[in-house]
């Protein structure tokens, strides 16, 4: 998708490809996001590592359980931390490594969300002032407008679950359908979705999704989308390609900004320039690149390189094989994102035909949500739709016929040389239905999924994870966002001889459950977990309106009722009645899984030679093409390459850019927002309370001082956190504890975080116990927290072994699929103590530690248990503790006794605590490093500390960093270089400035582009309109929309990092007052990034590393082989 859904409900990553990486604002822009987290109304999503720095801290890191994955239940959930150390994705799948199970949603570009901006001249400026809507008494009483602007009203209903009036309209001239939801949510959402079923794996829908936002009839510039990123107040801006649809959603709390976004997107999808400008297709899709007649010819293209990165991940290969094996006869049997082997088969004519066929109002489903005016919605749409006539569009997603017998598929993935890489994946997959589930069935299947896999205590998950047959789970259960729902489960890291054992274990466990049923305690836990999530409706920074749109589309897209999926009260009540009168789940389990013949087992085996085979095939294809070219043809390819790069690197004129609507600086409030915060003490604990309406939910964070843990034990802390939640307590076994927690709370979690504090040698380092419950459950939640912290068992060797294997597997996946975050972590660890500690707990150093720990479990188990107990004895105490509570005053008052009781139960002081302060010299050796893994792409980082060079923080740094990601780095690393993402990151707490690229075909060329940033800034001439856009866009980040729990957590971060309201106001004024001279001055400061002290760290292939070592001996690269 084109922007970063940073938290809460997002499409399951297995379904998604987008115009900008969803892999996460956290890893891509950690420091910048960190600064905003402390300065602004924003907090940031969690990272994959066990550590949680404020630049990577989660908004919803509560539920240690896996949520039911159905659209109904998932869409309401908050983002949980990855419980098994898996690669992080912006998704609400609480299973941890959901990213590895993705079934195909593609997203598209690499910068943070921000939309409409920059016109030059008052004539294009649009004031914030808008005509007020005559407010009805309530949404329930809202009437349809008298003037329907060419639409027919099909239905109107009130949806009490979201206090929303729903109108379903159909455009009379074209047949386009519109869902219009009105309530008091200021975070307005719009989306247009087309059914786009591909017939092959050339990636047409994905390339088109990238391309339509590269200029349109009304916005005739290279990339209006980038201009929107630069300078709007949007709360969401992206585009997503699923296996069968393409979605273009936007959101903003500012009415005029919202209107601007809607206008740009509608013009883009219906009148894109890419239909006549083949250069866009070549840039975003693929082309032959040849810099000189005697140079090497290569394939290049943003989507081509993105998908090479996707196909470098074994988990992604597994997901593709499973989907295509389950759906051999319909559109899901091909890859809508594109297979790198097939993408070069796509021609421009076929590309254009696809748009002409599917991007038509008659094939469109349009969505509005929020507090804007219904009649204006219809008027806006009609202005675009009325240009078209009704057209018959054959876009129906055909049903996959059911198999009469199970099937088996064997495939291979590119493996490394190490012995540890020679492990297989095995996954069993079922097709569950020939149509989407109705709401009650969806809830029932969601409950069943949760009962089977929803927490570490769920029987199917527990059987697999404690079997010792593999390293971690794959598949992760129910997926019901496509035409036909599926269920999948399996293991990775399996020895070849154990593959039949895994299958047998799955089938035997399901049979046992079907025979014995689920305990009432398990059912109560599942019901409370899902019901809590539905009623809380905590979508983090992901707009609630977009969450509902995606839920509605799960039926609407397949000609079902778009309103039914939004209701859950009546289906839930009826399901509860059925559950009270009989066994709902055993018959369901038997029908959907045990007796289901449409079952495919996929075996994915390692192949050390496959990478070379694929590389040789690609080179042979290019060589065959080149061999057929005359010298004149060769010169034409060189000229075409030069011409494309010239166009890519030539900016639009200020006059052309003026077409994009924008706000003005005068539209931005000068005063920063404040969050209610009362600071007091409760005994020895510092207490922060935030009186905010939370619908009777208490959000609690209890922080304990991580400095107390001896440094030699620090790498063990993430596993200690997991072990504390997985072995039961002295009072009850693990299953009982987990089910009690699920039945009585909204969940809680335990994790560490660290951060530098600007201007101090001290480091903010805490263990964070984070949970949520209703007001009347606060006592039970805190009793369970105390039981876990004080009485958890830590001596189950086999459970601990599995935790280590899962963590190690997740870290290996992260290095291979999210190498930019690994590279950034290494650079941070060379620079600061906080970075070093983060590296120990969640970086490459953690992976190396896990490899050693795996062996130590067998040779020194008593020593391991002793170390785990030493951590508890040191860190679990009230010394230097902080408690943070967010709720309304009544809930805070009612919860006070429970909180006090919990704190009183903790020891006053730890034992065996570290006595030495953390020395500033506690960093990794400063080297240029190449980390090698099996991959077809690179993740390139380079960084240096600006504070050490004398730079003093100024608010303009945030504006400059944002502009770099949408100008120089975007153009050179992504557009011209072909990487999926290129960006910079300034951690204002430590002073570390880092360049990063994502799924990058280049290595040293990207480093050269980083070094060119200095001269770019020094010589930059900015039109006032461009500067205004950058400022407005930065303010959109600072004033980002937040739900109540996020506000309380943001306030906590500010407190810990010592960022007061006075400083926040100062930075705000500096942002608003940014000038061109600030850019030039920052260019001088960035000289540090190309000085000898600056270091390069990249995750790359062994072949690319060897080439870089040869070409740049002056960098004296250290090569570290990981896999």
DSSP track, 127-167: -S--PPP---S-GGG----S--TTEEEEEEEEEGGGTEEEE
Element at 460 (helix H, strand E): helix 459-465
Task: Quickly state the pLDDT bin for 138 (edges 50, 70, 90).
Answer: confident
- Classified as helix, coil or strand, 713 is helix
Q: Which residues pair with 986 in a beta bridge?
A: 993
The residues carrying an active-site annotation are: 209, 284
Place of tokens 């930019």: 820
Q: Which of 47, 345, 24, 18 is nearest to 209 (CA)?
A: 18
- Is the pLDDT at 94 greater than 50? The verdict is no
pLDDT of residue 113 exceeding 50: no
How far apart are the C-alpha atoms of 519 and 911, rounded to whole Å? 40
Of 459, 470, 443, residue with least CA distance to 551: 443
Residue 41 above 70 pLDDT?
no
* Ordered strands of the 981-987 beta sheet: 981-987, 992-998, 939-945, 1095-1100, 929-932, 1118-1121
Are 985 and 30 within 8 A, CB to CB?
A: yes
- Looking at residue 263, what is its pLDDT? 97
CA dist 179 → 209, 370, 381 (Å): 22, 12, 12
Q: What is the pLDDT of residues 971-1022, one digit of tens each?
A: 999 999 999 999 999 999 999 999 999 999 999 999 999 999 999 999 999 9
Can you give the pLDDT at residue 53?
28
Residues in the chain: 1123
User: What is the structure's pLDDT at 213?
Assistant: 95
Which two structure tokens, joined as six digits, stand for 647? 């166009």
In Å, what is the CA distance from 257 to each residue of 125, 543, 1033?
11, 15, 11
Q: Tally helices (H) and strands (E) across the chain.
A: 38, 29
On the question of pLDDT at 25 being above 80, the answer is no
Write out pLDDT tens, residues 764-792.
999 999 999 999 999 999 999 999 999 99
Residue 62 has pLDDT above 80, yes or no: no
pLDDT at 22 > cutoff 50: no
- Spell out the residues 6+ positions from residue 219 whose beta carbon is closer than 8 angstroms to its own: 264, 267, 268, 659, 660
Phi/psi at 761 (5° precision): -80, -15
CA atoms within a 13 Å half-sphere pointing along the CA-CB vector of 92: 31
Reported confidence tier of residue 422, pLDDT bands at 50, 70, 90:
confident
269 Cα distance to chain centroid? 24
Q: Indicate if the pLDDT at residue 31 is higher than 50.
A: no
E strands of 525-662, at which residues? 599-607
Q: Averaged over 852-873, what is the pLDDT? A: 97
3 state DSSP class of 522: helix
Residue 1011 has a pLDDT of: 98
Q: For position 20, what pLDDT does the model report?
A: 62
Q: How far apart are the first and last CA of the chain?
A: 29
User: How many CA atoms, within 13 angstroms, populate the side-chain half-sphere of residue 248?
Assistant: 28
Exposure pattern of 890-900 as b/e (b: 16+ CB <10 Å)? ebbebbeebbb
Residue in 911, 906, 908 with CA at minimum distance from that of residue 791: 906
The first and second tokens of residue 1043, run together, are 């739900």
What are 193's two structure tokens?
Answer: 């979705």
753 backbone dihedrals φ, ψ, rounded to 5° = -145, 155
pLDDT, average across residues 645-653: 92
Report CA-CA distances (Å) from 410 to 103, 247, 499: 18, 33, 12
Q: Which of 105-119, 722-736, 838-852, 970-984 has the lowest mean pLDDT?
A: 105-119
Residue from 442, 424, 421 nearest 432 by CA: 442
Element (H, E) at 573: helix 569-581
Percent of the chain at pLDDT exceeding 90: 85
Token readout for 21 is: 């990486």
Task: Considering only residues 85 and 170, tell me which one the structure prediction assigns the higher pLDDT.
Answer: 170
Rounded Cα distance between 1007 and 997, Å, is 10
Confidence of residue 87 (pLDDT cuts 50, 70, 90): very low
Q: What is the pLDDT of residue 476?
A: 87
Please check the confidence at residue 533 and state whether its pLDDT lies above 90. yes
Nearest by Cα to 31 from 867, 1015, 985, 840: 985
Question: Residue 1118 — φ and ψ, nearest 5°?
Answer: -95, 125
Calculate ∠ Cα 44-1055-708, nearest 5°. 90
Alpha-carbon span 405 to 188, nearest angstrom: 48
DSSP 173-224: TT--EEEEEE-S-SSEEEEEEEE---SSSS-HHHHHHHHTTS-BSSS-SS-H
Residue range 42-46: average pLDDT? 30
Spatial CA neighbour of 1040 closest among 96, 41, 145 = 41
Residue 123: count other Cβ atoms within 10 Å of its Cβ: 7
pLDDT of res. 953: 97
What beta strand segments (E) does 30-139 contain? 106-108
How high does pLDDT run on average in the chain? 88
The tens digit of pLDDT for each residue in 790-813 reads 999 999 999 999 999 999 999 999
pLDDT at residue 27, as a whole number: 31
Q: Judge whether 140 and 165 are in contact, CB under 8 Å.
A: yes
- Give the span between the Cα atoms of 902 and 782, in whole angstroms: 6
Which of 355, 106, 366, 92 has the alpha carbon at shortest distance from 238? 106
Residue 1083 confidence (pLDDT): 97
User: Considering the chain, what percentage of its residues have pLDDT values greater than 70?
Assistant: 88
- Kindly tell me if the per-residue pLDDT of 502 is higher than 70: yes
Q: How far, in Å, CA of 651 to CA of 983, rounded?
A: 18
Contact between 821 and 782 under an 8 Å Cβ cutoff? The reply is: no
Beta carbons of 1025 and 657 less than 8 angstroms apart:
yes
Residue 6 structure tokens: 């940073």
652-683 pLDDT tens trace: 999 999 999 889 999 999 999 899 999 999 99
**121: confidence class by pLDDT, cuts 50, 70, 90:** very low
Whether pLDDT at 708 is above 90: yes
Helix axes 797-817, 844-859, angle to 10 degrees: 160
Give every CB contact of residue 628 below 8 A, 6+ residues apart in sequence: none
pLDDT value, residue 16:
62
Instruction: Give tens-digit pLDDT for 191-218.
Output: 999 999 999 999 999 999 999 999 999 9
Nearest to 462 by CA among 394, 518, 542, 540: 518
Bridge partners for 884 per DSSP: 688, 701
In this prediction, residue 419 carries a pLDDT of 63
> Which structure tokens are listed for 884?
């943070």
pLDDT band at 96 (very low <50, low <70, confident <90, very high): very low
Residue 90 has pLDDT above 90, yes or no: no
Tally of CB atoms within 10 A around 358: 23
Alpha helix stretches (DSSP H) within 359-405? 374-385
* pLDDT at 36 (0 to 100): 43
CB 91 within 8 A of CB 204: no
Question: Lowest-pLDDT range, 15-19, 262-266, 649-653?
Answer: 15-19
> Beta strands of 268-329 (E only): which ranges?
287-289, 298-300
User: pLDDT digits over 546-600, tens only?
Assistant: 999 999 999 999 999 999 999 999 999 999 999 999 999 999 999 999 999 999 9
pLDDT the model gives residue 19? 64
Q: How far is it, in rounded angstroms, from Cα 826 to Cα 754?
A: 15
The 3-state DSSP class for residue 429 equals strand
What does the pLDDT read at residue 114? Answer: 32
Decide if pLDDT at 9 tops 50.
Answer: no
pLDDT reading at 1038 higher than 70: yes
């Amino acid at each position: 998708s084109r922007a970063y859904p940073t938290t809460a409900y997002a499409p399951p990553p297995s379904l998604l490809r987008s115009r900008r990486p969803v892999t996460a604002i956290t890893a891509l822009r950690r420091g910048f996001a960190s600064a905003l987290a402390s300065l602004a109304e924003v907090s940031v999503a969690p990272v994959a590592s066990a550590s949680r720095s404020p630049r990577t801290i989660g908004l919803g890191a509560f539920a240690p359980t896996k949520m039911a994955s159905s659209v109904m239940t998932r869409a309401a959930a908050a983002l949980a931390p990855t419980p098994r150390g898996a690669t992080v994705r912006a998704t609400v799948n609480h299973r941890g490594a959901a990213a590895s199970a993705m079934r195909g949603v593609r997203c598209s570009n690499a910068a943070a969300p921000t939309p409409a901006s920059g016109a030059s001249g008052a004539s294009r400026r649009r004031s914030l002032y808008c005509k007020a809507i005559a407010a009805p008494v309530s949404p329930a009483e809202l009437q349809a407008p008298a003037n329907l602007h060419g639409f027919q009203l099909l239905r109107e209903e009130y949806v009490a679950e979201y206090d929303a009036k729903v109108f379903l309209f159909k455009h009379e001239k074209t047949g386009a359908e519109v869902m219009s939801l009105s309530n008091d949510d200021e975070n307005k959402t719009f989306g247009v979705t087309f059914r786009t079923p591909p017939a092959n794996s050339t990636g047409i829908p994905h390339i088109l999704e990238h391309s339509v936002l590269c200029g349109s009839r009304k916005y005739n510039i290279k990339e209006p989308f980038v201009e929107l990123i630069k300078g709007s107040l949007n709360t969401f801006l992206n585009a997503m390609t699923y296996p069968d649809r393409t979605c273009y959603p936007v959101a903003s709390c500012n009415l005029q900004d919202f209107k601007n976004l809607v206008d740009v997107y509608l013009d883009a999808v219906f009148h894109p320039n890419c239909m006549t400008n083949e250069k866009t297709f070549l840039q975003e899709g693929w082309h032959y690149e040849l810099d000189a007649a005697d140079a090497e010819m290569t394939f290049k293209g943003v989507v081509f390189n993105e998908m090479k990165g996707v196909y470098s991940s074994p988990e992604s290969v597994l997901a593709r094989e499973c989907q295509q094996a389950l759906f051999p006869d319909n559109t899901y049997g091909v890859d809508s994102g594109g297979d790198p082997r097939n993408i070069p088969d796509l021609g421009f004519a076929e590309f254009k035909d696809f748009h002409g066929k599917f991007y038509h109002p008659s094939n469109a489903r349009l969505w509005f949500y929020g507090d804007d005016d219904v009649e204006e919605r219809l008027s806006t749409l009609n202005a675009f739709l009325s240009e078209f006539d009704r057209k018959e569009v054959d876009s129906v997603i055909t049903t996959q016929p059911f198999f009469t017998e199970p099937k088996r598929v064997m495939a291979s993935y590119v493996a490394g040389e190490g012995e540890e890489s020679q492990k297989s994946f095995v996954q069993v997959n079922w097709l569950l239905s020939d149509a989407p589930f109705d709401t009650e069935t969806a809830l029932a299947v969601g409950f069943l999924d949760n009962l089977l896999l929803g927490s570490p205590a769920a029987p199917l998950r527990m059987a697999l994870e404690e079997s010792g047959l593999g390293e971690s789970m794959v598949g992760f259960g129910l997926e019901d966002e496509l035409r036909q729902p599926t269920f999948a489960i399996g293991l990775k890291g399996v020895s070849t001889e154990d593959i039949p054992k895994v299958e047998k274990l799955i089938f035997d466990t399901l049979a046992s459950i079907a025979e014995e049923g689920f305990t009432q305690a398990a059912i109560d836990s599942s019901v409370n977990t899902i019901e809590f999530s539905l009623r809380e409706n905590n979508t983090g920074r992901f707009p609630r309106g977009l969450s509902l749109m995606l839920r509605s589309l799960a039926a609407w897209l397949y000609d079902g009722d778009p309103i039914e999926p939004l209701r859950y009260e009546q289906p839930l009540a009826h399901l509860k009645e059925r559950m009270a009168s009989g066994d709902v789940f055993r018959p369901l389990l038997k029908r959907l899984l045990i007796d289901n013949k449409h079952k495919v087992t996929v075996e994915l085996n390692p192949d050390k030679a496959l990478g070379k085979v694929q590389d040789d095939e690609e080179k042979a294809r290019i060589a065959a093409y080149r061999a057929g070219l005359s010298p004149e043809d060769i010169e034409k390819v060189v000229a075409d390459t030069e011409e494309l790069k010239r166009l890519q690197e030539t900016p639009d004129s200020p006059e052309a850019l003026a077409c994009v609507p924008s706000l003005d600086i005068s539209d931005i409030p000068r005063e920063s927002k404040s969050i209610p915060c009362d600071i007091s003490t409760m005994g020895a604990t510092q207490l922060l309370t935030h009186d905010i309406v939370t619908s009777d939910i208490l959000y609690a964070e209890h922080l304990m001082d991580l400095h107390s843990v001896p440094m030699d034990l620090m790498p063990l802390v993430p596993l200690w956190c997991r072990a504390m939640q997985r072995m039961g307590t002295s009072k009850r076994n693990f299953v009982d504890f987990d089910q009690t927690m699920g039945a009585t709370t909204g969940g809680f979690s335990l994790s560490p975080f660290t951060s530098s504090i600007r201007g101090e040698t001290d480091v903010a380092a805490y263990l964070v116990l984070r949970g949520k419950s209703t007001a009347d459950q606060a006592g039970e939640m805190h009793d369970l927290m105390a039981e876990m912290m004080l009485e958890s068992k830590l001596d189950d060797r086999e459970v601990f072994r599995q935790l280590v294997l899962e963590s190690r597997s997740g870290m290996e996946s992260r290095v291979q699929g999210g190498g930019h975050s690994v590279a950034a972590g290494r650079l941070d660890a060379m620079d600061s103590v906080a970075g070093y500690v983060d590296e120990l707990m969640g970086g490459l150093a953690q992976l190396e530690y896990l490899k050693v720990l795996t062996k130590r479990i067998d040779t020194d188990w008593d020593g391991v248990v002793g170390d785990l107990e030493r951590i508890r004895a040191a860190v679990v105490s009230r010394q230097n503790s902080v408690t943070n509570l967010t709720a309304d005053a009544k809930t805070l008052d009612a919860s006070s006794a429970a909180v006090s009781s919990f704190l009183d139960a903790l020891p006053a002081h730890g034992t065996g605590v570290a006595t030495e302060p953390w020395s500033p010299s506690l960093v990794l050796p400063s080297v240029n490093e190449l980390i090698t893994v099996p991959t077809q792409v690179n993740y390139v980082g380079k960084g240096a500390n600006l504070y050490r060079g004398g730079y003093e923080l100024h608010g303009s740094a945030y504006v400059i960093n944002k502009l770099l990601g949408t100008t120089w780095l975007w153009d050179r690393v992504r557009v011209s270089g072909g990487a999926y993402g290129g960006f910079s990151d300034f951690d204002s707490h430590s002073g570390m400035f880092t360049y990063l690229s994502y799924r990058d075909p280049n290595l040293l060329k990207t480093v050269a582009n980083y070094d060119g940033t200095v001269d770019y800034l020094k010589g930059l001439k900015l039109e006032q309109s461009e500067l205004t856009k950058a400022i407005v866009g930065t303010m959109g980040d600072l004033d980002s929309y937040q739900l109540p729990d996020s506000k309380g957590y943001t306030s906590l971060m500010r407190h810990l990092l010592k960022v007061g309201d006075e400083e926040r106001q100062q930075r705000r004024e500096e942002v608003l007052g940014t000038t061109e001279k600030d850019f030039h001055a920052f260019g001088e400061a960035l000289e540090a990034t190309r000085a000898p002290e600056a270091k390069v760290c990249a995750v790359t292939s062994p072949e690319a590393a060897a080439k870089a070592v040869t070409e740049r001996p002056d960098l004296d690269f250290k090569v570290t082989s990981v896999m």
